Structures are given as structure tokens and as C-alpha cells.
Structure 1
Amino acid sequence: MSKIVVFGTKTVIALLFVVTLIAQFLLVPLLAQEMAHEFPEVSYLQWPGIIGCVCVLLCGQVVLVCVWRLLSMVAKESIFSSTAFTIVNVAIAAIFVAAVLLIAALIVLQAVNALPAGVMIMLLTGALLGTGLGLLLIVMRGLLKKATLLDQDLAGVI
């Protein structure tokens, strides 16, 4: 893979990581405070909401770190190893945890009747995208497994 592509992708990952950090420490608490003012009857959900949002963003950060590590392995041409499978499995788990947290938030907010349409759409979209991305990574893990076996067979022939 081209060094320029790896560098560009790592730059985007670094920027996304910084954005998620800013969201965790600034944006999420501000939005939670705004929601507590808009729906004072469920202001007790402010802290659980902050914790849940931070956990979802943390799952995203885990995935970003996994992709960074996989890119480094690709650059070193060591992607066909058992370490790659562990990294992919961690990314899959983080994505599904985030999707479950988004679904849980949707259910809780709907149960207490504090679910604006925009928030509902974002939670549903996030959960569906997370589920789809997790399933896509499962397929990609299968392709990595086949490619690893072919690489091992080729190494045995040579």
C-alpha cells in the first residue's frame, strides 16, 4: 500500500480521534445540560446520558486505534498474522457495544417520553450504521482469514 495513502488515512484517524476527545469533554456535557433544561422531568438522566455518550465515543476511539494498528501492519507487510485477527475482533466488539448502547439510549428515552425526533433519528441511524459496520467487519475478517491461509500456503511453496 502506498505510503501516502497510509499517511493520509492516519492523518484522518488522528483528526477524528481529536474530534471525539473534544466531543467527550465539551460537547456531550453541554448537550446533556441542554436536554436537562428542555426536559426537567427527566433531568435525572443527565449523568447516565453523559456516561453513555462518552462510552459510545470511547468505542469509536477503540475502533480508530484498531484501524491505526492495522494500517501500521499493512505498511510493514505483516497483516497476515494472528495479531491482526485480535485487532479486528476488538474493533468488531467495540462497534457492537456502541450499537447496543445506542439502542439502550433509544429505549430509555422513549420509555420516559423524552425523545425528540432528531435524537431518535440519530440514535436509530447510529445503531443501524454500527450494526452494518460490525457485520461488514465480520465479512472482512473472513476475507483476512482466507488471505492469511493463502499467504501461508504460498510461503510453504516458496
Structure 2
Amino acid sequence: MKKGTTFSLEAAVSIVGIISLSLCIFYFPGLAQETADRFPEFSGLQYPVLIGVYATAIPFYFALYQALKLLNCIDRNKAFSEEAVKTLKHIKYCAISISVLYAFGSLLLFFENALHPGVVIIVATVIFASVVIALFSAVLQMLLKNALDIKSENDLTV
């Protein structure tokens, strides 16, 4: 493949990373403080919720890094390699961990009687998107693994 054919995808992944990082740094702390001021009965949840959001940012950024590695593999004509299978496996595990962390956090909010219907919609959307990404990564990982197995069998028969 020509160098740079995946440039638009790399740019999109980078833009998503920059926007989410700026949200984590500038927007979420102010939103948490404003929510704690507006609803003082839930002010004790301000820092646990922020810690939960930041904890899910770790696998999110690792998945973005793995996506950039996968796009780099595609640029180097190594889309059908063990490295690509490994990056898809990492993306799958990151998506699963994000959905588990959000499910655990929503359970904690439920037991604190702080699970607002708007929060339920956001949490359900994040969990659903993470599960879809995990399933898609698993399917692609299986397909690439099967293609590598067929390629190695063909190399042995020649």
C-alpha cells in the first residue's frame, strides 16, 4: 500500500484522543464541581465518579494507541501478521475493560441511589459501544488468525 493511505483514519484517531484528553483535563473537573454544588446530597460522589471516568480513560487511550499501531501495520503491508492479531486482541480487552468499569460504576451509583435516568442512558451507550467494539475486534482477530493459518499452510505446501 502507498504510504499515507490510512492518514485520514490516523488523523481521526488522533483528533478523538486530543478531544477526549481536553475534556478530561478541562471539562470534567468543572462539571463534577458544578454538579456537587447543585446537588449537595451527592457531593460525596464527586471524586469517586471522576476517578472512575479517569480509570476508564486508561484503557481508552491504550486502545487508541493500538488502533494507531494497527493502521501503521496496514501502511507497512503487514495487515495479515501476528502483530495485527495482537493489536486487535489488545483493543478487544480494552473495550471489555471499559464496559466492565462502566457497569461496575453504574452499580455503585445505583446502590447510592444516585443513578439518574440521563446517566443511565449515557452509561448504557458507552457499555453498548464498548461491547460492539469488543465483538468487532474479536471477529477481525479470528478472521486474521484464520487467514494467517491458511497462509502458513499454503507456504508449507509449496
What residue in structure 1 maps to residue 79 of structure 2? Answer: 79
What residue in structure 2 maps to residue 45 of structure 1? Answer: 45
| Contact 1:80/1:151, CA 8 A, preserved across alignment | no
What residue in structure 2 maps to residue 96 of structure 1? Answer: 96
What residue in structure 2 maps to residue 35 of structure 1? Answer: 35
State the 1:2 CA deviation: 5.5
**1:93-151 Cα shifts (integer Å, max 9, x gaps):** 11111101111221122222222222110001111221122122111110010111223
What residue in structure 2 maps to residue 123 of structure 1? Answer: 123
Instruction: Give the letter for the 2:95 counterpart.
Output: I
Which 4+ residue blocks in structure 1 deviate beyond 2 angstroms? 1-5, 79-86, 150-158
Counting aligned pairs with the same residue, the percent is 26
State the TM-score, normalized to the length of structure 2.
0.89
Query: Which stretch shifts more, 51-60 or 2-11?
Result: 2-11
2:155 and 2:71 map into 1 onto residues whose CA distance is 22
State the TM-score, normalized to the length of structure 1.
0.89
SS of 1:130's partner is: helix
| Contact 1:29/1:50, CA 8 A, preserved across alignment | yes
Which runs of no fewer than 5 residues in structure 2 stay unpaired?
none
Instruction: Give the letter for the 1:86 counterpart.
Output: K
1:38 and 1:104 map into 2 onto residues whose CA distance is 25
1:39 and 1:110 map into 2 onto residues whose CA distance is 16
SS of 2:80's partner is: coil
| Contact 2:95/2:134, CA 8 A, preserved across alignment | yes
| Contact 1:20/1:61, CA 8 A, preserved across alignment | no
Which runs of no fewer than 5 residues in structure 1 stay unpaired?
none
Instruction: Give the letter for the 1:88 counterpart.
Output: L
State the 1:3 CA deviation: 4.4
RMSD after superposition: 1.8
Instruction: Kindly tell me the number of residue pairs found equivalent between the two proteins.
Output: 158
